[in-house]
Amino acid sequence: MYVCMHLNVCTYMFLQAVARWRGLVLHEIIHSLGFSAGRFQNARDATGERKNLLAFLPVEDTDGATDMIWHFTKGSRVYDAAQAYFACTDDEAWQGVPLMGLPDLGRNSHWETRIMRDDVMSYGQQSAVSSITLAAMEDLGKIDYDIICIFENRPLLDVLRRNPQN
């Protein structure tokens, strides 16, 4: 499957456009790289076996409403990164990071906004790319040091020096 994305940014008021649309552009680029429940469900390892990154789990909201939501499972980079970030050390209580449930528009293709509200892949106009979003791209096999350099705004050589084992 090929994904084609065309982005036309004219030079007129370029800096204002970058400031205004940076989050949206990053968001859509990450979607074009595969950020969606369908891609996560069908992600394969180097041998062609499914990675089983997601589990469909019941959740209960504070108002008592229930829903079934896709969560990243133990063994995924997302699970590990989020567990460390949120300091969730109880494996019994930690279900993993949920994808968005409601509203139906965008369901399963964004982070649950109430948990990841400042991340570019939550529902809204954010522009921060978290380590958890980068871990999702790593789970898909889509991340490389060129992408990290773009998000960190660093030359590739600096990143490679920091990570000599790769």
Considering only CA atoms, give the Rg of the chain. 17
In angstroms, rounded to a whole number, what is the distance separating the alpha carbons of residues 40 and 160? 27
In angstroms, rounded to a whole number, what is the distance separating the alpha carbons of residues 140 and 33? 9
Residue 51: per-residue pLDDT: 93
pLDDT band at 40, cuts 50/70/90? very high
Q: Domain segments of the chain: what residues?
A: 14-162
Residue 72, pLDDT > 90, answer yes
In angstroms, rounded to a whole number, what is the distance separating the alpha carbons of residues 14 and 157? 28
Query: DSSP string spanning 114-125?
Result: TTSTTBTTBSSS
Q: Which CATH class is domain 14-162?
A: alpha beta
Residue 56: per-residue pLDDT: 92
Q: What is the pLDDT of residues 90-143, one digit of tens each?
A: 888 888 889 888 766 667 888 888 888 888 898 777 778 888 998 999 899 877
Residue 1, pLDDT > 80, answer no
